[in-house]
């Protein structure tokens, strides 16, 4: 959330451009309110984790207990993001290897991917599936592909985006998984979860049982919240989420 004059902070990375600016603003405002009551106690990292949980719950999704005590990082560089986040064109083997580095299983990976039941993505993130050399990706449902091409023509502006879930875009539910069975996965990394034998059983189970998905998602979010936690001299509790303490 660090604001950089040179636009080279983590949030400025191309991989993070689909994150809504008003989401960052909400966390910054929440931090300011907390600082007035409890100065120097709650980190921006903890507020972000709580906000993520609350957004899910407010979208009819599950609620879980967020483990607290994180510190905020002392460095924020755009270049440090590359290769550390799942890419939209990744296959399951690549995704699984990346998640495994954070002690997350294939089941965790499939459950966390279910967050794509809400939110949006810029057209540039999946344009290759529509306008590649071989034409439209055959794994797309034809009607869905036409819908995407109408929303994202070949020369579309980089700022244009579409919903990740075309059926229930504002509800946190298991429709995302049913969509994959119908060829409605927006990214290659989405559709591959259904195509690959290693992940398809979990996709099928979650599509049939929303409660099962919610329980797996909660468990995976707790595990994800333990990844890369800063402690001791490696972090601080920022007074302002947009700037390091001085």
Residue numbering of the annotated binding site for heme b? 116
Angle between helices 106-113 and 92-100 (to 10 degrees): 110
Q: Which residues are annotated as a binding site?
A: 10, 86, 116-117, 165, 168, 173
Q: Which residues are annotated as a binding site for Ca(2+)?
A: 10, 117, 165, 168, 173
Q: Are strands 72-73 and 235-236 parallel, antiparallel or unpaired?
A: antiparallel
Distances (CA, A) of 128 to 51, 94, 179, 196: 33, 18, 20, 20
Bridge partners of 128?
none
């Amino acid at each position: 959330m660090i604001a950089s004059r040179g636009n080279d902070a983590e949030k400025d990375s191309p991989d993070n451009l689909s994150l809504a600016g008003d989401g960052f603003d909400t966390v910054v405002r929440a931090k300011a309110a907390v600082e007035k009551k409890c100065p120097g106690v709650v980190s921006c990292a903890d507020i972000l984790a709580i906000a993520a949980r609350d957004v899910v719950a407010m979208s009819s999704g599950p609620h879980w207990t967020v483990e607290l005590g994180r510190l905020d990082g002392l460095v924020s560089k755009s270049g440090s993001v590359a290769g550390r986040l799942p890419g939209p064109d990744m296959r399951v083997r690549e995704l699984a290897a990346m998640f495994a580095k954070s002690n997350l299983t294939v089941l965790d990976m499939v459950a966390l991917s279910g967050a794509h039941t809400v939110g949006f993505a810029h057209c540039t993130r999946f344009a290759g599936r529509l306008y590649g050399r071989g034409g439209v990706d055959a794994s797309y449902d034809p009607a869905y592909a036409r819908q995407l091409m109408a929303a994202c023509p070949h020369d579309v502006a980089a700022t244009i985006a579409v919903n990740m879930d075309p059926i229930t875009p504002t509800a946190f539910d298991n429709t995302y998984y049913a969509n994959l069975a119908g060829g409605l996965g927006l990214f290659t990394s989405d559709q591959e979860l259904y195509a690959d034998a290693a992940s398809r059983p979990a996709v099928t189970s979650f599509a049939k049982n929303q409660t099962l998905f919610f329980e797996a998602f909660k468990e995976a979010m707790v595990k994800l919240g333990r990844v890369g936690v800063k402690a001791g001299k490696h972090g601080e509790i920022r007074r302002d989420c947009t700037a390091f303490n001085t």
